[in-house]
Structure 1
Amino acid sequence: MTDHTLLSTDESLPKIAIIGGGLTGLLTATLLERAFIQSTDIQSTDQSSIPQITIFEKSRSVGRLATRYRTDSQTGKNWQWAFGAQFFTAKTPSFQQFIAPWLETDLLQPWCAEVVELTAANDNTESSDIQHKDEWGTAQARYISTPKMTSWGRALADDLQHTNIKFKTRVAPLAQYPQNQTDDKTELFDESGNSLGCFDWVICTAPNGQALELMAESGFTESANIAKPKMQACYTLMLGWDEVQSLPATLTSQTPSRWDVAYVNNSPLDRIFIEHQKPAHNDLLPSVTIHARNDWSETHVDDDIDTITEQLLQAAQHALHWDDETAPRQVDCHRWRYAATIVDNNEALGILVDPQHQWVVSGDWCGQGNIESCYQMAVETVQAIKQLT
């Protein structure tokens, strides 16, 4: 077990702000709480020793493991799309140990998907070519959250005992309003200039484009490094059908065999995921999530969303080969402006720490841009606070 000892019992506990309620923010709060509890052996009734952690989240929910659904008025059943991260891996022993409790409850489950390589049809071919590529097993498992990808983030938030989450609160850039210099604390403000309080530590877990805006002209000593990781966009297309019988043949188990994930060639599309075949998803109406290629998405990141939807629908039709009778009934499209982290030479940046101000800039983009990186950056943040407090 990693030693997260933070403070001795005779030291006062710092007041900590976390900007962003995504997985990095939630995991950071979780590990900070554990560190405080471990270092002080506090009891829940010992109010004087309870750490003061506040998460400021600009949206109305947490987790960033995004799920979208639509309910069919006739059947009452849902289409459901994991339109953000589809799965995650746990390659390090510490992260494997961390997620073990949720695996025991089946909130997290391995996804043993059948994976194919799909070369989309073009003007010279009538149907796509589908070839077996891989079978995801438990040796290097891919995990999903059930019944929705948002479920784990909400479980993490619910398990927090000493953290206050303030939703629909957008923190203003740190240099926008005069700072309260009392006791070397940082005063945060919302966009309207209302004070959000004074904090000993401020941890920013926003994507690096937003982190740059928050830290601009603030005196953050690591500002130049925020822009080093390059992030690309991603468009996600979400399709739904009334019943399995109305699916195009490319999505049925007979052509050529049952598959769950397709890596797509010869297309703006990158990967296709069949949602209703995932573990604990049997009650869903046929639902398919399609991620566009990151380079294509970045090139078209500012295009009109309706135009993008039309282009991706055309590409999906070439890949899945539907006609009027097998066309999807539900169509939706989402733009992720900051989706993929481009890591040069596989060298992760790591968290950025300003010891003088006691500010930390963190996020999955400081690592490999995946969910395990959220955990790793949370561990680094706790270690940094431990060393500097």
Structure 2
Amino acid sequence: MTDHALLSTDESSPKIAIIGGGLTGLLTATLLECASNQTHGLSSTPQITIFEKSRSVGRLATRYRTDSDTGKNWQWAFGAQFFTAKTTGFQQFIAPWLDTGLLQPWCANVVELTPANDHGQAPDIQSKEQWDTVHARYISTPKMTSWGRELAVGLKHTNIMFKTRVAPLDEHTTHSNDKKTQLFNETGESLGWFDWVICTAPNGQAVELMADSGFNQQDNITQPQMQACYTLMLGWDNTQELPETLNYQAAAQWDVAYLNNTVLDRIFIEHHKPGHDELLPSITIHARNDWSEAHVDDDLETVKAALLMAAQRALNWNDDRAPSQTDCHRWRYAATIIDTDTKELGILVDEIRQWIVSGDWCARGNIESCYQVAQQTVEAIYKTR
């Protein structure tokens, strides 16, 4: 739905604010709407408002450029490249989009790649695994943003306010007798009163939003540790200009590479993905999270130059086969550090104020986690009704 969605004005309907239009926010709204249709669910249809600071939803980010001569696109999924569905509930949830083909399994050929070194040794590529449909990795087509947009379109009782930045919450904005919260935007204008406020921002941003609010779980927000990630995006004008490590006419074809002995982590070949056959050659490269975190405040052009040098060693191009398109993006909060000995945090609930802090970082930090914390949020709201 858009800024102009028509919502019920029934005063008995619970009013729910969701801060953040990423997948956690969209899935939370979707599951809340579904739950309101169940006999055991909410007593009336909730009026949900999602406040998203950017111009779009989903955060499964896609960037593309169009070649003026051919009209074809380069395209890079510069956020999440794919996702898995390991639990029965999530498998059942995504089934309708698998049926339509919007979501598809990516049966990639995966290799391990050791870049060229200073002694003249060429990149070494060794087979690692073949992804299959049994333990599938899924992508959204034609773009990784497509699923998030489809989720937004499917919302019937949710208003999405784009380019709206919610101001940090203040404990004095809550009425203790009726548990309602008034939200404001960054210029001080009221965004309305809400029975529930759900913050789905990354934990670094959630800390700032809740810092002076009196949120009774504030200390727990910083418990999961987040790391940054730089993404390098490369494009070539045609397959004939690809370096030999990418040109399958000269080398065995591969789709994904795990890298050794470099600041780079993984390489993804976009034009090999299902439904991406018409793309110009497009390569997305993620830097290692630890390296990205160490350089998170560096000048972006300096980082881009370092990553390009590392990519050239990995893919072994000369001046004649250098990419014609280059771009770099910094994700300040990209990966949740998972300690196998520590229990997942789960969503943080202040039942007195009826505030919830949520996000994939409350679980495993992946897309399935977005669904799991959305489920937890719905259950927490039911519990108090």
Same fold per superposition (TM over 0.5): yes
Give the corresponding residue for 1:25. 25
| Matched residue SS, 2:212 | coil
Letter of the aligned partner of 1:101 in structure 2?
P
Instruction: Deviation per CA, 1:271-324: give whole Å up to 9, x if none.
Output: 000000000000000000000000000000000000000000000000000011
Superposition pairs of residues 201-280 of structure 1, within 5 angstroms: 201-280=196-275
Code of the residue aligned with 1:372 in structure 2: it is E
Q: In structure 2, what is the equivalent of residue 189 of structure 1?
A: 184
Equivalent position to 1:148, from 135, 143, 149? 143
Distance 1:346 1:240 in 2: 41
Query: What's 1:352 paired with?
Result: 348
User: What is the RMSD of the two structures over their aligned residues, measured on CA atoms?
Assistant: 1.8
After TM superposition, give the deviation of residue 217 of structure 1 in Å: 1.9
Report the more deviating stretch, 267-276 or 345-354.
345-354
> Does the Cα contact within 8 Å between 2:41 and 2:382 map onto a contact in 1?
no
Give the Å deviation of 1:124: 1.1
Is the counterpart of residue 369 in structure 1 residue 368 in structure 2?
Answer: no
- The percentage of counterpart residues that share the same residue type is 71
State which drifts further: 276-285 or 170-179. Answer: 170-179
Q: Which residue of 2 aligns with 1:73?
A: 68
Other structure's SS at 1:349 match: coil
Q: What is the alpha-carbon distance in structure 1 between the residues aligned to residue 93 and residue 335 of structure 2?
A: 24
Contact 2:233-2:326 at 8 Å conserved across structures: yes
Q: Retained in 2: the 8 A contact 1:130–1:256?
A: no
Letter in 2 for 1:383: E
User: More displaced, 145-154 or 172-181?
Assistant: 172-181
**Partners of 2:200 and 2:368 in 1: how far apart?**
14
2:380 maps to what in 1?
384
Partner amino acid for 2:259? V
Aligned twin of 1:8: none
SS at match of 1:165: strand
Alignment of 1:89-168 (within 5 A): 89-168=84-163
Code of the residue aligned with 1:197 in structure 2: it is G
SS of the residue aligned with 2:323? coil
Structure 1: distance between partners of 2:130 and 2:71: 33
Instruction: Return the alpha-carbon distance in structure 1 between the equivalents of residues 250 and 224 of structure 2.
Output: 41
Show the 5 A alignment for 1:334-349.
334-344=329-339, 345=341, 347-349=343-345
CA contact (8 A) 1:80 1:287 kept: yes
SS at match of 2:170: coil
With normalisation by structure 2, the TM-score equals 0.94
- Which residue pairs with 1:64 in the alignment? 59
Partner of 1:319: 314
- Once the two structures are TM-superposed, the CA of residue 253 in structure 1 deviates from its matched residue by 1.3
1:308-355 Cα deviation digits (max 9, x unpaired): 000000000000000111000000000000000012225211000000
The alignment partner of 2:150 has SS state of helix
Deviations along 1:42-77, one digit per CA (max 9) or x if unpaired, are 9xxxxx954210000000000000000000000000
Is 1:52–2:34 an aligned residue pair? Answer: no
Q: What is the CA-CA distance between 1:254 and the residue it aligns to?
A: 4.0
* Aligned residues of 1:309 and 1:333 also touching (Cα < 8 A): yes
Distance 1:15 1:56 in 2: 13
Write the mapping of 1:169-188 to structure 2, written as runs, cut at 5 A.
169-175=164-170, 178-179=173-174, 183-188=178-183
State the partner residue of 1:15.
15
The question of whether the paired residues in 1 share the 8 Å contact of 2:229 and 2:286 is answered with yes
Runs of 4+ in 1 over 6 A off after TM superposition: none
SS of 2:319's partner is coil
Tell me the TM-score normalised to structure 1 length.
Answer: 0.94
Does the 8 A contact of 1:274 with 1:288 survive in 2?
A: yes
Q: Give 1:39 deviation, angstroms.
A: 3.2
- Alpha-carbon distance in 2 for matches of 1:32, 1:41: 9
Give SS of 2:381's match.
helix
Conservation of the 8 A alpha-carbon contact between 2:20 and 2:199: yes
Aligned length: 375
Q: Secondary structure at the match of 1:251?
A: coil
Distance 1:182 1:190 in 2: 24
Aligned to 2:7: none
- Indicate how the Cα distance of structure 1 residues 323 and 138 shifts in structure 2: closer, same or farther if over 3 A, else same: same
Structure 1: distance between partners of 2:310 and 2:76: 19
- Partner residue of 2:279 out of 284, 296, 304: 284
Structure 2 spans left out of the alignment, 5+ residues:
1-10
Partners in 2 of 1:327 and 1:184 — Cα distance?
A: 59
Deviations 1:168-212 (A, max 9, x none): 000000028744567220000001110000000000000000000
Kept in 1: contact 2:179–2:352 (CA 8 A):
no
